[in-house]
Amino acid sequence: MDMLNNAIKGYQNKVLTAAEVIEELIKLAKEIKESDSLANELKLSDFEYAFYSAVAENDSARELMGQDKLRELAIVLTSTIRNNVSVDWTIKESARAKIRTVVKRLLRKYGYPPDMELLATELVLHQAEVIADQLVS
């Protein structure tokens, strides 16, 4: 979404030409297709893949933990977050703190690199916010 917004803003601000925007859109489409194929290959749902992407963004985590362990972590994160979110969790700081604590514990349990734990926690929370409506229902 960010890539799409950046391309549109670049065009609107006359930084990018129409041809460059089309190139960006083609590049974005290829990345989405690759992402979908990886999700299918890993047999992850859309929610699980969102969390997988958040925890696998770190190169050292991918090297240290491997794809299978990250996949397992994503599945557990999805289930745990789904079971712990409430309707107002994105608004109430106490509810957010509870989710943040749960995520940190899971990252530690699965051996996520401690130096990248804070970033991964924030990415997971951001992903959870993006899909919050579906998680609560």
111-135 pLDDT, tens per residue? 999 888 999 999 998 888 887 777 6
Query: What is the domain extent for residue 52?
Result: 43-136
57 and 68, same domain (yes or no): yes
Measured CA to CA, the distance from residue 11 to residue 1 in angstroms comes to 15
**pLDDT at residue 127, rounded to an integer:** 87
Measured CA to CA, the distance from residue 107 to residue 119 in angstroms comes to 11
81 and 96, same domain (yes or no): yes
Q: Is the pTM of this model over 0.85?
A: no
27 and 94, same domain (yes or no): no
The residue among 8 and 120 whose pLDDT is bigger is 120
- CA separation (Å) from 99 to 56, 70, 84? 19, 19, 7
For the segment 12-41, the average pLDDT, to the nearest whole number, is 76
99 and 64, same domain (yes or no): yes
28 and 48, same domain (yes or no): no
Answer yes or no: is pLDDT of 108 > 90: yes
Number of domains in the chain: 2
